[in-house]
Structure 1
């Protein structure tokens, strides 16, 4: 998750005002550890002296001040979190992902997923107002057209579970991807349990 700290949460960097009225931008790490970057562009040194720097390391900084180009630096994680503790405390939770699995050729959850589904629903419902994206998948048995239809039915079944728990329909999107995005790559007509799934993305 990218965040801008200062007056608002936005984009992956932390903006603050350093000495003498300038601005400081600090790149925050992604919640899942994936790389991120931000381009800092300034005309503080004048319209004919555009300055631009790329931040691509966690807690790397760029300081912008009147009459001078962007200056790169780095902060310590502990310092950033202490300085902006209220903003970190009030930041929305990072996106979450859950997976439910199905019996071959059906919209029936496996016994393990039947046991897990209430926990998944409960954890998701703690995020009031979150958008929920449900992506249905199949293995490579049956035809592509049939798998498209089955994957969508699986996603809609899970959507109904959320609606029954009071989630607003506008917040839950269900789509089917058939056998296009296999979790485990297989040849055609392979019965692979890990591909028969619905991915639940909460953001």
Structure 2
């Protein structure tokens, strides 16, 4: 009996000691932030400044990578392009589409589209509908006939007209912005008071 009690006490003591020797929970890891500079598709130079704590690093070369933890200076190295694409494949797949641009032309002096441009509207609607979150910018332009102020007004009316037509095609009005640029951004450079059909236009950008 005494031996059994001693064995039981020994077991309880070991259990208590095991409880006392349980290691503390691991400290939470400080998250690491990585920034990778991707190249522009058209080859234009670009850059980004990465700041952490009181230090910063500027990335200017394609696939440069800055890594840092909270309040620590960023460390810069060169990432392998293929590894970046593999590691962030889900992000590449949901990247917004490349900007798509359409140009529609107008008959002289008003907001009426040419027949060919009118026929383009269903195709623009179908392309836009492929991207539920697409934003559409409609920019109106004029030739150099008439006054500058009058052309500012006319270019905006043209943009608004096309915006209304796109809404009638079923595109959401809150995703379409219409602006006018008058005769400031000519597609074809001309002198004043020149009737140039290629300048009577709206440019539609899907982005």
Compute the TM-score of the two structures, normalised by the length of structure 2: 0.75
Write out aligned runs for 1:35-184 (5 A): 35-43=45-53, 50-65=54-69, 69-184=73-188
- How far 1:31 sits from its partner (Å)? 4.8
The Cα RMSD (Å) is 2.5
CA distance in 1, matches of 2:133, 2:32: 36
Q: Which residue of 1 aligns with 2:24?
A: none
Shift of the 196–33 alpha-carbon distance from structure 1 to 2, 3 Å rule, reads: farther
Q: Which consecutive unaligned segments of at least 5 residues does structure 2 have?
A: 1-29
Q: Deviations over 1:73-124 (max 9, x none)?
A: 2223222111111121122323332221222223232343234332122111
Q: TM-score, normalised by structure 1?
A: 0.76
Which structure is larger by alpha-carbon Rg, 1 or 2? 2
Contact 1:100 1:117 in 2 (8 A): no
Equivalent position SS for 1:98: strand
Contact kept in structure 1, 2:136 and 2:206, CA below 8 Å? yes
Flag structure 1 segments of 5+ consecutive residues without an equivalent. 1-19, 44-49
1:24 to 1:173, Cα distance in 2 relative to 1, 3 A:
closer
Shift of 1:128: 1.2
Distance 1:149 1:157 in 2: 12
Alignment-derived partner of residue 6 in structure 1: none
